[in-house]
Amino acid sequence: MKKTDAAILRQSIAKIHDLFRETATGLPGMPNIDISVRENRILSLICMITEEKPEGIALKELAAAMKLAPATVSELVDDLVNKDLLVRVQNPNDRRAIQISLSKYGRKLVDDSLRSIDDLCEKLLSGLSPAEQSALIGGLSKIADIS
């Protein structure tokens, strides 16, 4: 029986997801930390945002970027603070406001994870011809742009 395009895409996404999880959990020198998909998304977003805003991000901004309720994001942030991956710092311009940023440990985890994942992506792409790589990246770019 011939697989449908949707089934092939679904199977490919699952395989890539499993490879990413294995890569992220097998980082040398890092203890095995149980991080959910949403927690990983928070770490990635904060990493990107704090490149432009090193002071951190407000919880409301983070919730808006994730398209989740602030209460949900607050719980996730609490878990990541307890895992020593995020820190809360008082906003110097508004003593009532809290800024969230990566801890030193969180920064190392994200940097090491991204480096390992980039290596995995290069390995996966190396099995494809340049034309196949271009077609795959072009298609994935279009999927990523769908809102």
Asked whether residue 146 is domain-assigned, the answer is no
4 pLDDT exceeds 80?
Answer: yes
The pTM of the whole model exceeds 0.85: no
CATH code assigned at 35? 1.10.10.10
How many domains does the chain contain in total? Answer: 1
Asked whether residue 61 is domain-assigned, the answer is yes
Continuous segment of H or E residues that includes residue 92: none
Given a contact cutoff of 8 angstroms between Cβ atoms, the answer to whether 55 and 62 are in contact is no
At 72, is the pLDDT very low, low, confident or very high (cuts 50, 70, 90)?
very high
Model pLDDT for residues 95-137, shown as the tens digit of each residue: 788 899 999 999 988 888 788 888 888 988 999 999 999 999 9
**Which whole number is the average pLDDT over 1-14?**
82
Higher-confidence residue of 73 and 117: namely: 73
Asked whether residue 135 is domain-assigned, the answer is no
Name the residue range of residue 105's domain: 5-124
What does the alpha-carbon distance between residue 124 and residue 12 come to, in Å, rounded to a whole number? 12
What does the alpha-carbon distance between residue 92 and residue 76 come to, in Å, rounded to a whole number? 24
